[in-house]
Amino acid sequence: MKYILFTLHGYSELFKKRGEKTLFEFAKKENFENFMGNGFWGYTILEKTVEKSYFSFLNIGESFPGEGFIRALKYSISKKENDNFFLCQFVFSNENYIIETDIYLNPKEKQKLLEEIAITQNDFDFFIFKEDILLKYNCPNLPLIENLFPNKIKNKSINELQYKKEGFEKINKLMTDSFKILNKSIINKVRMDLNEPVANFLYVYGMGKLKEKIDVYEKIKKRVLFYSNSEILEGLRIFFNIEKVHKIPEIEEGILYWFNFSLNLNDSPSIWVKNFEIFAKDVLEKIQYREDTRFLFIFDPFMNENYEYEKSLSIFLAVNFSKKIKKKYKNSAFLFKNFID
């Protein structure tokens, strides 16, 4: 048997009703009709963040090490014992409340603001990338705590965002100190003069802890090849020691092929439809329906890895499964198990 998994980030938008119809109904489905005609539609519940969702989906029997650590792998940040990793985002706070979390800053602005904070913070290492800011904090026995992602903190007080567990005092102080420092920044003074939201608070979230990588082959006894049009799961791929390919290969027996595609949050619905049509025409033309291959398509909500989405049903299409499958999977790992068994 051959195995092909398609994870389609953001494509659940195509199934939401807009008026009388969904975008999926409007889309041309060239090459996709055969899969639908031979497949079974269902629902599965994924976690609130994309990395945690697909970590749990693979069901390797391990606890999730946190988004911060997965991103540290993605960006090849050095790691040692007792290292803890966090994601950071600049947000706008006023009168002790978070007013705006989606603030556009160019790379130079981000770099300068981070440098102003880092001067006073000797306990942390900061790393800045195009999309992410990471913080590394070496501290033993720090418990792994999940907290809200930035898109969930609007209108919350700064006090609500403080970590409540022992050991996080320096993290909390970093956030409160950032407010004092960034309010004096020339960058924010200029932004205020231009009537733009100021980036005067560094929110720390997405904690991760150092964890030994896992070879997914040892868990599922199948070689896995991964192809993606985005970097959204690159850290997870590295954690599982999955081989990356740069083009869609010839499909061989006994290999699990994982093809990963993403929509862009900032594109219009018409562009989302167009991207699905391109996927159906170009990608599925190379991977035609065949009876000796098991296919699984997952249409999930994830367009932004720095968003926390609602824990809701995602649509899947299963084709040529050997076992009878359920209409709904509350635990997505059972869907994956049925897929590869």
Q: Are residue 75 and residue 205 in the same domain, yes or no?
A: yes
Q: What is the pLDDT of residue 19?
A: 83
d(CA 313, CA 316): 10
- Same structural domain, 142 and 179: yes
171 and 283 fall within a common domain: no
**pLDDT above 80 (res 59):** no
pLDDT at 289 over 80: yes
174 & 282 share domain: no
Mean pLDDT of 64-85: 96
pLDDT band at residue 62 under the 50/70/90 scheme: confident
Q: pTM for this one?
A: 0.94
Same domain assignment for residues 237 and 205:
no
Among candidate residues 164, 188, 209, the one where a domain is terminated: 209
If one counts every other C-beta atom within 10 angstroms of the C-beta of residue 254, the result is 10
Residue 61 has pLDDT above 80, yes or no: no
Q: Which residues of 121-136 are buried (b: 16+ CB within 10 A; e: fewer)?
A: beebebbbeeebbbbb
Mean pLDDT over each residue of the chain, to the nearest integer: 94
End-to-end CA distance of the chain: 10
Q: Residue with structure tokens 């398609």? A: 6
Residue where the block lists tokens 């093809």: 259
Domain count, the chain: 2
The pLDDT of residue 130: 86
Neighbouring C-beta atoms of residue 202, cutoff 10 Å: 24
- For residue 220, the enclosing domain spans 2-62+214-340
260: β partners: 7, 228
CA dihedral 311, 313, 316, 321 (to 10 degrees): 90
Tokens of 277: 């049509």
* Last-in-domain residue among 185, 209, 233: 209
Q: Is the pLDDT of residue 318 over 90?
A: yes
Q: pLDDT digit string (tens) for 148-205?
A: 999 999 999 999 999 999 999 999 999 999 999 999 999 999 999 999 889 999 999 9
Residue finishing a domain among 209, 233, 260? 209
**pLDDT at residue 105, rounded to an integer:** 92
**Token duo for residue 33:** 């009709």
Domain identity same for 152 and 267: no
Render 136-203 in DSSP notation, one character per residue. EEE-TT--------GGG-TT-BTGGGS--STT-HHHHHHHHHHHHHHTT-HHHHHHHHTT-----EEE
pLDDT tens per residue, range 125-146: 999 998 899 999 999 999 999 9
Report pLDDT for 188: 94
Helix, strand, coil % (nearest 5) of the chain? 30, 25, 40
In 3D space, the residue among 268, 269, 272, 290 whose CA is nearest the CA of residue 280 turns out to be 272
CB 319 within 8 A of CB 294: yes
Contacting residues for 154 by C-beta, under 8 A, at least 6 apart: 98, 99, 100, 101
How far CA 19 is from CA of 87, 320, 338, in Å, comes to 38, 34, 36
Predicted pLDDT of residue 312 = 85
35 pLDDT tier (thresholds 50, 70, 90): very high
253 in Cβ contact with 1 (< 8 Å): yes
Predicted confidence at residue 311, as pLDDT, reads 87
The pLDDT of residue 256 is 97
Can you tell me the distance from the alpha carbon of 302 to that of 309, in angstroms, rounded to the nearest whole number? 7
Domain match, 204 and 143 both? yes
Model pLDDT, residue 18: 87
